[in-house]
């Protein structure tokens, strides 16, 4: 089928773009990702009931955003990331139970936050990071035995900690995930000290002196 051929070409373009990024050729990769986006747009227009083509557009926008960040074009990257967020939000409304859509949205929020940090818009960045973490919390609550989702939440909380209004809380919540992972045998030998480390970081944040830019709550 012509549809299948174009879908395959779109996927091939994504894979080629990823390879070009590995080869440190972001300028070329950008054009290839755009080709995949255009193919998926056309497919979505012809087959609007097929969520795959809409989701692939979201993936393309994320890849385009990542590439623009590498090229130092944070403003353009933010536009791409925000478009990805909009698409993922629509898809999640259609199927709220789809883990993939929720994960896509969490990634989009985090990416947008990174672009906003690069643009010096820290308050807006914190808002996006918080939305991404909230999405990951919901994913963990809905899938409590999923170690991958718990690890992703832990990592996001650790990264967000230094810029959060409540740094100590971020580390405490990250520690909760680390303890679960440890009890489930999901922490490697070199990661065994993570729960203790996070406990120390939470205590340090709690006792930090006022005015040093860290939480003392």
Tell me, yes or no, whether 149 and 117 share the same domain. Answer: no
What is the domain count for the chain?
2
Q: Are 166 and 217 in contact (CB under 8 A)?
A: yes
Q: For residues 202 and 117, state if they share a domain.
A: no
Residues 138, 52 share a domain:
yes
- For residues 8 and 59, membership in a common domain is answered with yes
Q: Kindly calculate the radius of gyration of the chain based on its CA atoms and give it in whole angstroms.
A: 19
Residue 208: predicted pLDDT: 77
- Among the candidates 143, 159, 179, a domain finishes at 143
On whether both 72 and 132 belong to a single domain, the answer is yes
Q: Based on the domain organization, do 138 and 149 belong to the same domain?
A: no
Do 101 and 38 fall within a single domain? Answer: yes
Residues 61 and 95 in one domain: yes
Q: What is the pLDDT along the chain (217 residues), one digit of tens a residue?
A: 567 899 999 999 999 999 999 999 999 999 999 999 999 999 999 999 999 999 999 999 999 999 999 999 999 999 999 999 999 999 999 988 889 999 999 999 999 999 999 999 999 999 999 999 999 999 999 999 999 999 999 999 999 998 888 999 999 999 999 999 999 999 998 999 999 999 999 999 988 745 544 443 3
State the pLDDT at residue 1. 56
Distance in angstroms (rounded) separating the CA atoms of residues 114 and 119: 9
Q: Which residues constitute the domain of residue 33? A: 1-143
Same domain assignment for residues 166 and 77:
no
| pLDDT at site 209 | 42
Same domain for 164 and 114: no
What own/partner pairs with CB < 8 Å and gap ≥ 24 does 96-104 have? Answer: 99/139, 99/142, 99/143, 99/149, 100/55, 101/55, 102/135, 102/138, 102/139, 103/139, 104/55, 104/58, 104/59, 104/62
Task: Residue 109: name the closest of 132, 88, 130, 92 by CA.
Answer: 132
Q: CATH no. for residue 48?
A: 1.25.40.10
pTM summary value: 0.85
The answer on 111 and 4 residing in a single domain is: yes
């Amino acid at each position: 089928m012509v549809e299948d051929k174009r879908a395959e070409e779109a996927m091939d373009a994504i894979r080629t773009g990823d390879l070009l990024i590995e080869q440190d050729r972001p300028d070329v990769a950008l054009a290839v990702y755009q080709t995949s986006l255009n193919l998926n747009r056309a497919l979505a227009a012809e087959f609007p009931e097929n969520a795959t083509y809409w989701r692939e557009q979201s993936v393309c926008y994320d890849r385009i955003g990542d590439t623009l960040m590498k090229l130092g074009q944070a403003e353009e990257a933010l536009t791409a990331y925000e478009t990805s967020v909009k698409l993922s939000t629509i898809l999640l409304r259609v199927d709220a139970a789809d883990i993939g859509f929720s994960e896509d949205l969490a990634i989009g929020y985090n990416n947008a936050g990174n672009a906003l940090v690069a643009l010096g818009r820290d308050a807006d960045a914190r808002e996006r990071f918080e939305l991404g973490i909230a999405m990951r919390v919901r994913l963990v609550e809905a899938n409590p035995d999923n170690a991958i989702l718990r690890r992703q939440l832990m990592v996001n909380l650790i990264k967000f900690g230094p810029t959060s209004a409540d740094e100590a809380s971020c580390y405490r919540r990250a520690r909760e995930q680390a303890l679960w992972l440890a009890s489930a045998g999901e922490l490697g030998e070199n990661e065994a000290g993570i729960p203790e480390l996070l406990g120390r970081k939470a205590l340090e944040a709690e006792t930090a002196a006022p005015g040093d830019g860290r939480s003392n709550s």
